[in-house]
Structure 1
Amino acid sequence: MSRSTDRQTDPVAVTTSLAAEAALLEGRLSLLREAIETVDARIDAVSETLRRLHRSAAGPTDSAAPAGRESGIGLDHSTKGRD
């Protein structure tokens, strides 16, 4: 028996298998997106805490820069490139 006849497969079985794999990957993608949202929320909370601490440590006279931009460092919360 030649190798090509050994590897013949049922198109319906292949399609079913690929559809199942696609569904599994979509589920994993959904879980990863949820995890990213959770991490983003945590980053926001920690950033806000750090801004409050920085403002309280700087005192009431240091109002030259807008809140959250004291050091020129900001977080990019865009979702561009995540899909």
Structure 2
Amino acid sequence: MPPSTDRQTDPSAVSASLAAEAALLEGRLSLLREAIDTVDARIDAVSEALSRLQHSVTGPADRKPRSGEAGDTGTGRPKTKRP
């Protein structure tokens, strides 16, 4: 049976092809790592902003809720359940 002509049988050609593919994959890996670092930095920034916002909204534990906050109907009347 003759060897398949579809396959590369030259070891140096196979090595060169694998080295080229490895270089491409390393380049893609580098780009992905940079993208992950960017996303991590954005997550950290948003997390810090949300934390600051939460602290500015909640304030001291003993104060009364302002109009429009949770637990406040904004009408000066207590919430009532309706049938």
Consecutive aligned runs of 4 or more in structure 1 exceeding 6 Å deviation = none
Q: How many residues align?
A: 60
Match for residue 37 of structure 1? 37
Match for residue 77 of structure 1? none
| Length-normalised TM-score, structure 1 | 0.66
Any unmatched runs of 5+ in structure 1? 63-83
Distance 1:53 1:8, change over 3 A: closer
| Length-normalised TM-score, structure 2 | 0.66
Q: Which has the higher contact order (CA 8 A, sep 6+)?
A: 1
Distance 1:43 1:21, change over 3 A: same
Q: Which is richer in helix?
A: 1
Counterpart-to-counterpart distance in 2, 1:48 and 1:56 = 12
User: In terms of Rg, which structure is larger?
Assistant: 2
Counterpart-to-counterpart distance in 1, 2:50 and 2:40 = 15
